[in-house]
Amino acid sequence: MTASTLDTLLADGVTGRRVLVRSDLNVPLDGGAVTDDGRIRASLPVLEKLARAGAKVLVTAHLGRPKGQVDPQFSLAPVASRMAELSEVPVRRAEDLVGPSATQAAADLADGGILLLENVRFDPRETSKDGAERAALAAELAALTGGSGAYVNDAFGAVHRRHASVADITSELPAYQGDLVRDELVVLERLTESPQRPYTVVLGGSKVSDKLAVIENLMARADTLLIGGGMVFTFLKAQGHGIGNSLVEDDKLDTVRGFLAAAQRHGCRIVLPTDIVMASAFAADAEHEVLPVEKLESGAHGAEALGLDIGPETAEAFAREIGDSNTVFWNGPMGVFEMEAFASGTAAVARALTQTQAFTVVGGGDSAAAVRRLGFEESGFGHISTGGGASLEYLEGKSLPGIDALQR
């Protein structure tokens, strides 16, 4: 069974109807200002498409982890302000989710308008493990749409969650798949079912444990895995290298050794760094030097040093691997890209993706944030995912509750 699409909803007619859209607006804030509006810009096309067709668009989304309580630091007010600046149609904000403000604002919303409801995670029922509690919130959200409402899931970054506004809501309203979700699924299916080879996967980030299942699943599909970021030190220690005071997961050493052996059986190359940027401390102004992986504890700070980026030799090698590929999936930075001294490895990978002729996919999360922070044009990549965790779970072979719910 396949999901009904947004085009189907538009063909049925939405003029005068209230359409509830689940968007992914979980953006970083600093001092109450949005510092990366990538997810907002990605969400606007569907909202504006509905508004221009005459719908009254109600938007529900989350921000951060307020743990089921109203917390001003997680209010969507700054998001609403940025949406209003970027949107070509009017954007209003409700001061609550399903309370008096939302009810009145929904009733007053004109055709072609957008109303952003307050953070859905302010309500503990959104993430409750009790299905009845989630269903109750879903019913209240549906009630905001009146008697002829519809629901569109356009929040790919949330589809791996069994939450009220993601899964349970589809039992209350006719449900449709948003364009953003559709596009993500097309790309991920291409990566898993029919990648053009050579197929290279670049994995980074801090912990091996975050990527265990995806590594295991992709070994049977990819030709090459390039490993960087903090997770690489568990691999290097598993091979017997000293890693100083670098981040490591000792309880995953045997698992990593198993990966190295399994990759050989699958004919998949796991390529590890040959040099590392070792620093005296986790700080932007820390003293640092490039050392070969065989001698990471031989520098000025000995065993107290910690690795914060891949070295230039590794960055060049990774870039060559990417350049020789026809499909590349990248998830996770190569180092602490937020600090200029340790951003070179991540920048080298991003640059290589913009220069190759391969089909390139940036797997959301920190990788997408790095692309924008480091000043790369998004048009230089084949696809930038809005859902890091959801992308990984799809590539792990897991079912996604939000996608399953649309196929009822």
Q: Which residues are annotated as a binding site?
A: 24-26, 39, 62-65, 121, 161, 211, 307, 338, 364-367
**Contact criterion met (CB below 8 Å) for 21 and 59:** yes
Angle, to 10 degrees, between the axis of helix 388-395 and the axis of helix 365-373?
A: 130
Half-sphere exposure of 190 (CA within 13 A, CB side): 17
For 176-190, the DSSP string reads: EE-HHHHHHHHHHHH
CA 165/CA 61 separation, integer angstroms: 8
Sheet containing 383-384, strands listed edge to edge, beginning at the edge strand earlier in sequence? 269-271, 224-227, 199-203, 327-331, 359-362, 383-384
What is the identity of the amino acid at 312? P
For 271-324, the DSSP string reads: E--SEEEEESSSSTT--EEEEEGGGTTSSTTGGG-EEEEE-HHHHHHHHHHHHT
The alpha carbon torsion through 340, 341, 347, 349 (nearest 10 deg) reads -150
Sheet containing 288-292, strands listed edge to edge, beginning at the edge strand earlier in sequence? 288-292, 275-279, 306-310
Strand runs labelled E in 97-195: 114-116, 150-153, 175-177
**Overall size of the chain counted in residues:** 408
SS3 category, 167: coil
**Contact criterion met (CB below 8 Å) for 319 and 352:** yes
**DSSP 8-class letter at 390:** H
The residues annotated with a catalytic role in the active site are 39, 207, 365, 389
> How many CB atoms are closer than 10 A to CB 86?
14
Please enumerate, by residue number, every residue annotated as part of a binding site for substrate: 24-26, 39, 62-65, 121, 161
Helix or strand holding residue 327 (H, E): strand 327-331
Half-sphere exposure of 399 (CA within 13 A, CB side): 7
